[in-house]
Amino acid sequence: MAATAATAGRLLRLRAAGAEGHWRRLRGAGLPRGFLQPASADGDAAQRRQVAHFTFQPDPEPLEYGQTQKMNLFQAVTSALDNSLAKDPTAVIFGEDVAFGGVFRCTVGLRDKYGLINQTVQSDAGPRMALANLWDVWSRNDPFELSVEMWIPQVAAGICVHLLPVNCSWSNGSVDLQQLSSYLQSDRKLMRDVGHNFRRQSQTMMTNCRMCLVGISQHSPHLRFMVKGMIELKVTSVQQEELVVIPRSPFQAKGLLLSCIEDKNPCIFFEPKILYRAAVEQVPTEPYNIPLSQAEVIQEGSDVTLVAWGTQVHVIREVASMAQEKLGVSCEVIDLRTIIPWDVDTVCKSVIKTGRLLVSHEAPLTGGFASEISSTVQEECFLNLEAPISRVCGYDTPFPHIFEPFYIPDKWKCYDALRKMINY
Amino acid sequence: MAVAAAAARVWGSSRGLGRVGLLLLRQPGARGLARSHPQRQQQHFSSLDDKPQFPGASAEFIDRLEFIQPNVISGIPIYRVMDRQGQIINPSEDPHLPQEKVLKFYKTMTLLNTMDRILYESQRQGRISFYMTNYGEEGTHVGSAAALDNTDLVFGQYREAGVLMYRNYPLELFMAQCYGNVSDLGKGRQMPVHYGCRERHFVTISSPLATQIPQAVGAAYAAKRANANRVVICYFGEGAASEGDAHAGFNFAATLECPIIFFCRNNGYAISTPTSEQYRGDGIAARGPGYGILSIRVDGNDVFAVYNATKEARRRAVAENQPFLIEAMTYRIGHHSTSDDSSAYRSVDEVNYWDKQDHPISRLRHYLQSCGWWGDEQEKAWRKQSRKKVMEAFEQAERKLKPSPNLLFSDVYQEMPTQLRKQQESLAHHLQTYGEHYPLDHFEK
């Protein structure tokens, strides 16, 4: 976050202001840096905003996909979108603030490369012109403000019905429950009732998630709410129609996103906000796919299975090394990657081997996805279990602002739970 | 409704709709609530006339095919009292406010500006996690807040800190909320700028856009039923007005006849989306008549215009139990928030223009100076004083502890359920063993 602040600071044009500065300031950058005295040294660590509770661990450079480039998470997303737009001239990105690059910089440069479609743009790109004529209202620069997420999926679903594969993206998947419910209801209707009459392309919806040292409950939606939304729809079959995918790193993000885009099912792709800049690794510049609905065993082990997804994978990786070091316990670490439908086989196979399972996520405990995993695993592997399945999750409260360090299931909580499981 | 729209275009608010009001069909409600518009007549149903009998519209037949042209080239005119140099244009519109009150306007706006600068900078230095400034929109806050009673309920979006400041919310509490320290009324649970104050009747800010609009309507309806002589004011931006919630809110307010003022701050941008891409109609004011709402467009950078419009709207909303829509035209001089860099989508020249040529604070200052109520000496002294006030509150807020982590679990339910109590205990237990890894020193016990 300090890096972000510094970068943004450089972007702002700082004006040296005298002691008697003007009331009116451009861009809030008027005060010289020294105006505010830095916080005292000993109070520094925590008076400053909390530093991350995890360390991002990059995977080794992938060699099988050609040339790679150092990218962070949002750059990997941009790369995936770039590849998919290049491949398919009818593809559209429809979302909030996507034209200028996006609030989280996921679409930087794409407008200049591929063009902006709206009523007033008269470009001579063939297929896109045809698109503009036909549809005339779909613009890549979403006309809606933050939180009109309500309508983006709907409208995007409409685009899909009539021709085009769509990536629709919105930032801060905050009003998730409501709009996802309405989206899923309308989507379901489209798929089932109207399906045969329309050629339906797939739709990938991208949004970001997770606490990120800034936003709290309304800006840190949890996967749980999304899943809950689906459950609350009372039509259980809807769960089989949408895929839910979360990457842990830039390399995973690009591959998974490209798979989602190509998949015929509608997909919801979450991007852990905190990893946008914090996660950097070598990512192939050419397109490649990572299979959906397949979990990945990142580290093999024999005593405990640890399952997580997104940012939390890095937390449990650290817990695995702590366990090895302090308890001599060998952990098998699994990144679930696709939440729905999830890879039951890989997880069960692992639990049969180890006999112990710990699932961790930031979303609240009750109704969180760990309960689904826990339930299924105990059904499938009951006799193999040496200890009750452990869930280390957020509390059943709205996500707090200042209490964040106490709320999140950090490595100490996971470590403690693991220790208890070993000693059961 | 076409008549209303056309009439509204020509002459803004009251006259246009008044005429149309007479034509509106009204059935007595199922609950038999007294009608607040006695001039509406129930149309005689007769099958012999060649007049339209449709229940859905009250209009005459026409035999020419004609689409109504939305008129955006010369839209609804913008009401203003002062020109850009702070001179009153039409003396009969001068509200003739006492010196004390106008000085309060000025001081509130400038204090807000100072607080914004300091808190924005503090975010850049990592002291607080997030901030949103109000540069350029101070006039909309103060003008409207001043026209209301202190008990009128305020529903804001997130860029209305000036309203709270006008109601004398102390700097200490603004800072406390941003820092999430022990003094925060919100107990450190919300991210910065999500102020709320029960005593000052300012409903806590909530991030998702436009959710406050239907809520405000509900509150206004309750106020009407309670005969409270209270109005509800609901602020939102032109971007939020594109939300579905806005539509529902407007329609409910009109059909339920609620004493509510919808105050739209049209500041030109919704993060990066300019108004040219936000809508194709004539802004937000033109939508009001579509719902049967009296509407006006004002110069949001003119405090007196905002004041006059809000004052009149308040008087009539309470007296007549009907909603009003005020679209205050202004400009967002700052970035959307600390997570935004607006140079990516707009030019510096544009921002400079508004900062230098048409700013609510400087316009009011010119007015004050021409009245002889303010001068350079006072300006200097006030700048120093206000900065000092803000810095003191800031330093104090930074030094205070954060609330106890137990507050993570309280207020979720009226009574804490067993499950949650167990989680609270497990955290306490966890901290006993692993407390060294947590910033416990900065939190109350």
Tell me the mean pLDDT in the region B309-332: 97
pLDDT of residue A309: 95
How far is it, in rounded angstroms, from Cα A63 to Cα A75? Answer: 19
Residues of A in Cβ contact (< 8 Å) with B191: 214-216, 219, 401
* Residue B332 CA from chain centroid, whole number: 14
Number of residues in chain A: 424
Maximum Cα–Cα distance across chain A: 76
Whether B398 is a known active-site residue: answer no
**Lowest-confidence pick of A105-114, A175-184, B86-95, B423-432:** A175-184
Q: Of residues A369 and A4, which shows the higher confidence score?
A: A369
Query: A312 and A55 in contact (C-beta within 8 Å)?
Result: no
B residues 238-267 lying closer than 8 A (beta carbon) to A: 239-240, 242-244
B residues 179-208 lying closer than 8 A (beta carbon) to A: 180-181, 188-191, 206-208
Contact B383 A20 (CB under 8 A): yes
Query: A343 and A294 in contact (C-beta within 8 Å)?
Result: yes
How far is it, in rounded angstroms, from Cα B321 to Cα B323? Answer: 7
User: Which stretches within A22-163 are classed as H helix?
Assistant: 44-47, 73-87, 110-114, 126-135, 152-162
Q: Is this complex's ipTM strictly greater than 0.90?
A: no
pLDDT of residue A165: 45
**Lowest-confidence pick of A149-153, A375-379, B395-399, B431-435:** A149-153
pLDDT of residue A193: 43
Residue A206 pLDDT class (50, 70, 90 cuts)? low
Contact A216 B351 (CB under 8 A): no
Closest CA to B390 of A191, A31, A196: A31
Six token digits for residue B137: 């929109």
Six token digits for residue B379: 């300006």
Q: Which CATH superfamily is domain B91-399 in?
A: Thiamin diphosphate (ThDP)-binding fold, Pyr/PP domains (3.40.50.970)
DSSP letter (8 states) at residue B341: -
**Lowest-confidence pick of A217-231, A281-295, B232-246:** A217-231
Q: What is the pLDDT of residues A7-37, one digit of tens each?
A: 433 433 333 333 333 443 333 333 344 356 5
Six token digits for residue B113: 């500006």
From residue A288, how far is each of A280, A336, B172, B373 by CA, in Å? 18, 19, 54, 70
pLDDT of residue B22: 37
From residue B126, how far is each of A49, A306, A356, B122 by CA, in Å? 6, 34, 41, 6
Q: Of residues B384 and A49, which shows the higher confidence score?
A: B384
pLDDT of residue A283: 96
Tell me the mean pLDDT in the region A285-312: 96
Map out the domains of chain B as residue ranges. Answer: 91-399, 405-442
On whether any CB of chain A is under 8 Å from the CB of B433, the answer is yes
Whether B58 is a known active-site residue: answer no
pLDDT of residue A127: 30
Q: What pTM value is reported for the model?
A: 0.79
Phi, psi of B232, deg, nearest 5 = -110, 135
Closest CA to B253 of B223, B289, B226, B216: B216
The CA-CA-CA angle for residues B352, B357, B359, to 5°, reads 90
Residue A194 pLDDT class (50, 70, 90 cuts)? very low
Tell me the mean pLDDT in the region B340-349: 93
pLDDT of residue A320: 97
Query: What b/e readout covers A125-162, taking b as 16+ CB neighbours within 10 angstroms?
Result: eeebeebbeebeebbbbbbbbbbbbbbbbbbbbbbbbe
Tell me the mean pLDDT in the region B24-37: 41
Residue B113 pLDDT class (50, 70, 90 cuts)? very high
Residues of A in Cβ contact (< 8 Å) with B272: 97, 99-100, 141
Give me the residue from B270, B408, B439 closest to A46, CB to CB: B439
Six token digits for residue A209: 């998630």
How far is it, in rounded angstroms, from Cα A167 to Cα A106? Answer: 12
Tell me the mean pLDDT in the region A51-68: 89
Query: What b/e readout covers B318-329, taking b as 16+ CB neighbours within 10 angstroms?
Result: beebbbbbbbbb
Number of residues in chain B: 445
pLDDT of residue B25: 37
* Positive/negative CA dihedral, B81, B85, B89, B92: positive
- Quote the mean pLDDT of chain A: 70
Query: B291 and B18 in contact (C-beta within 8 Å)?
Result: no
pLDDT of residue B73: 82
How far is it, in rounded angstroms, from Cα A82 to Cα A76? Answer: 10
DSSP letter (8 states) at residue A193: I
pLDDT of residue A149: 38
Phi, psi of A394, deg, nearest 5 = -75, 170
pLDDT of residue A204: 57
Tell me the mean pLDDT in the region A193-208: 46
**Lowest-confidence pick of A116-120, B133-137, B360-364, B422-426:** A116-120
Q: β-pairing, A357-364 with A280-284?
A: unpaired
